[in-house]
Amino acid sequence: MKNEIKFLWLLAVLLCAMGVQSQVSSITVTKDDKKPLSDAVVRITSLNPTKSKDEIGLTNSEGKYLFERKDGIVVYISYLGYNTITDTISPPADKDYTLLRTSTTLNDIVVTGQYSQGSVANSVYEIKVIDNETLRNKGATNLKEALANELGIDQSQDPVYGGGIGINGISGEGVKVMVDGVPIVGRLEGKLDLTQVNLNNIERVEIVEGPMSVLYGTDALGGVINIITKSYQKEKFNVRGKFYYESVGQYNAELSGGFNFGKNQIQYSVGRNFFDGFTQNKTYTRASDWRPKEQYTADLKYIFTANKFKISLAGSFFREMMVSRSEPKYFADRVTGRDEHFLTYRPRVTAAFLYRFKDNSQLDVTASYSGFYRYWNTVKKDLSNGEEMLIPSETQDTSSFHHFMLRAIQSMYTKNNKVGFQFGIDVNHETTFQERILGQTQQITDMAAFASVKWTPIKGLDIQPAMRITYNTKYKAPPIPSINFKYSIKNYLTFRASYGRGFRAPSLKELFLSFKDSNHDINGNKDLKAEDGHNVNASINYKLKRGKHVVSIEPSGFYNLIFNKIDLKIIPPNPETPPNISAFAYANFKKVQTYGAELNVSYEYDRLVLKAGAMATRFETYDESIKETYIKLWSPDANAQIRYTIPKAEIGLNVYYKYTGQKALFSLNSSVSTGIRSAFHNMDVSATRNFWKNRIQLTVGGKNLLGVTNIVSNGAGGVGHNFAQNASLVGWGRTVYTTLVFQFSK
């Protein structure tokens, strides 16, 4: 009898278990190509909220999500880049859903210049986004390569100072480059070497053309480039190894990853980049036009996220050794060479705090330290035994920059979201130590307050005026106003227009340089004024969607007028100036005007993306001291992109092309010299493929397939540190590359 009772109890328990099991429901999510979509967000809300709480989770590798519910529920399914599905279910039930891919341009999330994180479509600024997938397709290893083939961006290369940049005719001194809103310091001769900005562990690059001085202050005269690092990891554990090889002699390796435990996240990245140098016409075994270099990078980031606030602490370290080798000299008993060593360090530490209030407002505070150390030593090397010895009569130079920043921004909206306010303070302090500067130590402090109002009087129309007031310890800064308009008609037509005043503060070198030797007499000018600019731009974005077909047409135009442009100017020599040497000093003596028009067209269908663009830019430079215009030039540019995914093979094919038109050059020797850098073409291709459930990513491609190396520059050779007269460095010829990524997550 007892055994029968035990059996009945076991049978009852089993039946109950079967009953519970019968309440398990499943959701299966697939993409439009019928393949499972893993990590789609599934949110479940009960029709009777008093009985059960909301539930949220992710689909597994098979696109499935299992749940247990007895009552009716509402299911929301979403995934970035795909449409969102809402459905009502009465469990138990097994449901299948297919998410359709939407236009990627509608889903880019940006933070540059925004009240809070939002989409590109909702921004009053015209923002270009280079996402992580595009960076992979380009095979980009640094910021210079990431910006290659982008319309409106002109790049230059100096053998010593590295890669420079310009936007819409505004040179690199007027373009601010940042990492998570923190400016990168250490400009040499106005150039910020973009090859020293690595792309390890980043999420995307955001580009805003036109002055952003209201929010970001000096150097944002022509626009800003903001590198956004990764700030979220959904996996508990992730490790990633990346290896890059390019046939020119470039070998890179990177290890990165992160941990996610509760409200805490830790992300890290370490890497080494090596470039063996390149010379087009190699006569000697040692000398090269593109200097060999070795780079080491390290990044560490900690993030704590709570319901109302977020704290992040980040540290970054960069080291580069670049060597300029001379041709060997042969003696009876030895062989020697003259080498220049350029050692650079870039440390950076950032702390950020974000707090969201109940009244639809938030406080965003960022504090940072950025450093730049550069050592330039000239040595004589005995090639027979490798011994090196400093040459006292040659260049031995040390310079460093220390930049401290504190920015606090309060953003808020009214209850109906029709009016938004933003108030902020921005404090920057910079100190430099240089042997070629008055007193060898100089410092400058910039303190500013800014405010803006975002008003939406009717649906689709945003009006955003703003103002910045600045106090500087070395020069008088002008008030900086701006106003932006955006009008959208549903989701297919957006019109943007803006006026902005921008400025560029004179650098400490331009204010206090004192460089005198047997070959140079270059002086700063402590009475320099800030460069003062005005910008007007407008654009129309038209999107037409018919099923999977998406067509986008975007015409735009811009106008820049800059007064008090700072440049070197020939001055009468003083008694200390060596014979046959011209004396120079920085001065406000130029007026620069650029204007132009741009047209971009794109077409997307399923796995095919076609993009093409063309623009024409007018350069005019006027010397106010002699009342003469010495540069007038139209410069055309064009680019195109093709992206296609082969369905069965799952191989992504990419083609990037750019035509860079002629560009104006300006230099000083014993007199003003102007010239033109000739036009050239560039084309890159790549193929990508994922293996082993996306744990392995392989990219192979070719860069500079048209074999461009040195471009003729008529009339202004010898600009910067060019290796030869009447030539400019552009590329190192035709190369092939491969990128291999291994990643594991749990």
By DSSP bridging, strand 583-605 and strand 521-523 are parallel
Q: What is the pLDDT of residue 585?
A: 86
Tens digit of pLDDT for each residue in 98-117?
Answer: 887 654 443 467 788 787 77
Q: What is the pLDDT of residue 47?
A: 73
Between 598 and 219, the higher pLDDT residue: 598
For 276-360, list the strands marked E by DSSP.
Answer: 293-305, 309-325, 329-330, 335-345, 348-356
The H-or-E segment that residue 10 falls in is helix 2-21
The H-or-E segment that residue 161 falls in is none
Q: How far apart are CA 240 and CA 237, in angstroms?
A: 10
Contact, 172 vs 194, CB < 8 A? no
Compute how many other C-beta atoms are within 10 angstroms of the C-beta atom of residue 196: 23
Residue 280 banded pLDDT, cuts 50, 70, 90: confident
Between 436 and 375, the higher pLDDT residue: 375
Between 670 and 366, the higher pLDDT residue: 366
How many CA atoms within 13 Å lie on the side-chain side of 546? 3
Q: What is the pLDDT of residue 107?
A: 47
For 143-263, list the strands marked E by DSSP.
Answer: 153-158, 162-167, 175-179, 182-183, 202-209, 223-229, 237-246, 250-261
Q: 3-state class of 214 per DSSP? A: helix
Tens digit of pLDDT for each residue in 399-424?
Answer: 999 999 999 999 998 877 889 999 99
Q: What is the pLDDT of residue 674?
A: 67
Tens digit of pLDDT for each residue in 307-365?
Answer: 888 999 999 999 999 998 888 888 877 888 889 999 999 999 999 999 988 777 899 99
Cis peptide before 465 (omega within 30 of 0): no
pTM over 0.85? The answer is: no
What distances in angstroms separate CA 662 from CA 135, 634, 670, one per listed residue?
A: 27, 8, 25
Residue 202 has pLDDT above 50, yes or no: yes
Mean pLDDT in residue range 140-164: 86
Tens digit of pLDDT for each residue in 637-667?
Answer: 999 999 999 987 889 999 999 999 988 776 6
Tens digit of pLDDT for each residue in 455-484?
Answer: 999 989 999 999 999 999 988 888 999 999
For 505-627, list the strands marked E by DSSP.
Answer: 514-516, 521-523, 531-546, 549-571, 583-605, 608-623
What is the percent of the chain with per-residue pLDDT over 70, rounded to a whole number?
Answer: 90
Q: How far apart are CA 665 and CA 710, in angstroms?
A: 15
Residue 16 banded pLDDT, cuts 50, 70, 90: very low
Compute how many other C-beta atoms are within 10 angstroms of the C-beta atom of residue 716: 22
Q: What is the pLDDT of residue 718?
A: 40
Reported residue count of the chain is: 746
What distances in angstroms separate CA 1 from CA 6, 12, 25, one per listed residue?
A: 9, 17, 39
Q: 3-state class of 220 per DSSP? A: coil
Residue 13 has pLDDT above 60, yes or no: no
Q: What is the pLDDT of residue 342?
A: 93
| Domain 133-223 part of CATH 3.40.50.150 | no
By DSSP bridging, strand 680-691 and strand 127-131 are unpaired
Q: 3-state class of 685 per DSSP? A: strand
- List the beta bridge partners of residue 323: 341
Q: What is the pLDDT of residue 103?
A: 43
Q: What is the pLDDT of residue 418?
A: 87
Burial of 551 (0-12, 13-18, 19+ CB in 10 A): middle
* H runs (alpha helix) in 374-518: 508-512
Name the residue among 594, 595, 593, 598 with its Cα closest to residue 611.
598
Q: What is the pLDDT of residue 101?
A: 65
Between 510 and 41, the higher pLDDT residue: 510
Q: 3-state class of 423 per DSSP? A: strand
DSSP labels for 612-650?
A: EEEEEEEEEEEETTTTEEEEEEEEEEEEEEEEEEETTTT
Q: What angle do CA 384, 385, 389 make, to 5 degrees?
A: 105
Residue 191 has pLDDT above 70, yes or no: yes
Domain spans, the chain: 2-99, 133-223, 224-448+458-745
Residue 20 banded pLDDT, cuts 50, 70, 90: very low
Q: What phi and psi values does residue 66 have, to the nearest 5 degrees?
A: -105, 145
Q: What angle do CA 495, 501, 504 make, to 5 degrees?
A: 130
Q: What is the pLDDT of residue 6?
A: 54
**CATH H superfamily, domain 224-448+458-745:** TonB-dependent receptor, beta-barrel domain (2.40.170.20)
Q: How far apart are CA 738 and CA 37, in angstroms?
A: 28
Residue 522 banded pLDDT, cuts 50, 70, 90: confident
Q: What is the pLDDT of residue 283?
A: 60
| Domain 2-99 part of CATH 2.60.40.10 | yes
Burial 414-448 (b: 16+ CB within 10 A, else e): eeeeeebbbebebbbebebbbebbeeeebebebbb
Q: What is the pLDDT of residue 516?
A: 75
Residue 294 banded pLDDT, cuts 50, 70, 90: very high
Q: How far apart are CA 127 and CA 112, in angstroms?
A: 8
Q: What is the pLDDT of residue 147?
A: 92
Q: What is the pLDDT of residue 393?
A: 72
Q: Locate 27 and state its tokens.
A: 């959701």
